[in-house]
């Protein structure tokens, strides 16, 4: 029984070999060396043709069972190597939760809240206290929510007021304003309602001291019966008083936005930083707003014969700049700790 002995020897050798291996590639090589077309097991089975029928009867099942055992051993080894690799990775990537404290002891401070986020939260709280909901919307929008439903149809020149990042399909875009949230708000509720919607907006702008390609707005909308410009002014003055901690003098100038009629620019009386009160104090454009255009209400599924309302879009970066007298909007996105650390920690 030469052949049977040889088969057993091959199996034994294999078991000795596989034991020593620690890489999946080596295991696969070993398997090929034994079971492959030119592998040792296959070579032996080739000599089967010289065996007697009785021998073949024995050798056949024996070689099959060895083959199976080898295959199982290979599989088990591959799995255990994989597990070992995962464990090693986990050990390497372990998060040391005690690290923060030890770094803090070395004089590093915990991060604070960015001034834009801080003012956003503050304004959300002010509006929540006045009964407004806070809504969200996606950064990637479709034409309808950013333009169409806001009374800015295709080919309307008002589209040029906002340089837009379009996607290749020319149907989707990065929202250019939070007015998209007006549309989503109208779609999801029945009047009367009032909500604000803060978030990032994007414009294809060349950056300079007053322009960024990504900035923040907070949209507001109130819809009900018999809403007036007086209501709009009341809410805006209340907001400004809370933010600046004093009564602010405001004025409304006519302003054009296709989704409001009449539309306004709300200015606050403002003293330029560092300059004498009388000579340089003036009006600062802060808040575009207006009475919601009937077409916008209609697009949002609201009957303009029965309901009306106001909307506004507050520039949060602008507000932070005014509040803290920051001269360049680019500081806000710089990530520069010398800038960030000037704001209070929370």
What is the contact surface with ligand PHE in residues (CB under 6 A)?
177, 179, 257, 260, 263, 288-290, 311-313
* Rounded alpha-carbon distances, angstroms, from residue 117 to 109, 168, 222, 328, 345: 19, 31, 23, 18, 12
**Least distance between ligand PHE and beta carbon 219 (Å):** 6
CA torsion sign for 35, 37, 38, 41 is positive
Q: Residue 180's closest CA among 213, 229, 206, 145?
A: 145
**Residues 304, 337: Cα–Cα separation, whole Å:** 50
The residue (of 191 and 263) whose beta carbon lies closer to ligand PHE is 263
The residue (of 263 and 300) whose beta carbon lies closer to ligand PHE is 263
**Least distance between ligand PHE and beta carbon 329 (Å):** 15
**Least distance between ligand PHE and beta carbon 108 (Å):** 39
**Least distance between ligand PHE and beta carbon 25 (Å):** 58
**Residues 87, 79: Cα–Cα separation, whole Å:** 12
The residue (of 185 and 263) whose beta carbon lies closer to ligand PHE is 263
The residue (of 74 and 181) whose beta carbon lies closer to ligand PHE is 181
Q: Residue 217's closest CA among 202, 237, 234?
A: 202
Q: Which residue has the CB atom at the shortest distance from ligand PHE?
A: 313
**Least distance between ligand PHE and beta carbon 194 (Å):** 14
The residue (of 63 and 178) whose beta carbon lies closer to ligand PHE is 178
**Least distance between ligand PHE and beta carbon 122 (Å):** 20
The residue (of 14 and 264) whose beta carbon lies closer to ligand PHE is 264
Q: Do 47 and 3 touch, CB atoms closer than 8 A?
A: yes
Q: Residue 292's closest CA among 224, 233, 200?
A: 224
Enumerate the H helices of 93-221 as residue ranges.
Answer: 99-105, 115-129, 143-146, 179-188
The residue (of 30 and 191) whose beta carbon lies closer to ligand PHE is 191
Q: Residue 313's closest CA among 284, 296, 293, 288?
A: 288
**Least distance between ligand PHE and beta carbon 293 (Å):** 10
Q: What is the phi/psi pair of residue 327, to 5°?
A: -90, -15
């Amino acid at each position: 029984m030469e052949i049977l002995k040889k088969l057993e020897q091959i199996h034994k050798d294999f078991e000795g070999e596989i034991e020593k291996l620690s890489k999946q590639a080596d295991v696969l090589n070993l398997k090929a060396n034994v079971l492959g077309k030119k592998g040792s097991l296959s070579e032996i089975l080739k000599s089967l043709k010289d065996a007697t029928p009785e021998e073949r009867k024995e050798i056949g099942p024996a070689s099959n069972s060895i083959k199976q055992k080898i295959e199982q051993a290979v599989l088990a080894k591959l799995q255990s190597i994989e597990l070992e690799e995962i464990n090693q990775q986990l050990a390497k990537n372990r998060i040391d939760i005690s690290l923060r404290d030890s770094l803090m002891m070395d004089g590093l401070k915990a991060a604070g809240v960015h001034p834009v986020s801080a003012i956003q939260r503050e304004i959300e709280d002010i509006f929540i206290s006045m009964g407004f909901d806070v809504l969200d919307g996606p950064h990637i929008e479709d034409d309808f929510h950013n333009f169409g439903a806001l009374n800015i149809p295709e080919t309307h020149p008002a589209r040029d007021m906002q340089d837009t990042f379009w996607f290749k399909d020319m149907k989707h875009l990065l929202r250019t304003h939070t007015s998209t949230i007006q549309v989503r708000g109208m779609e999801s509720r029945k009047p009367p309602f009032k909500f604000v919607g803060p978030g990032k907006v994007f414009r294809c702008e060349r950056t300079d001291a007053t322009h960024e390609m990504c900035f923040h707005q907070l949209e507001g909308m109130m819809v009900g019966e018999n809403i007036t410009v007086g209501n709009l002014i009341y809410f805006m003055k209340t907001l400004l008083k809370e933010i600046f901690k004093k009564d602010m003098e405001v004025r409304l100038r006519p302003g054009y936005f296709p989704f409001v009629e009449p539309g306004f620019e709300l200015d606050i009386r403002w003293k330029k930083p560092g300059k004498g009160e009388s000579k340089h104090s003036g009006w600062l454009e802060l808040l575009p707003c207006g009475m919601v255009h009937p077409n916008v209400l209609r697009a949002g599924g609201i009957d303009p014969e029965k309901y009306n309302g106001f909307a506004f879009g507050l520039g949060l970066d602008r507000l932070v700049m005014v509040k803290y007298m920051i001269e360049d909007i680019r500081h806000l996105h710089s990530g520069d700790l010398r800038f960030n650390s000037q704001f209070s920690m929370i």
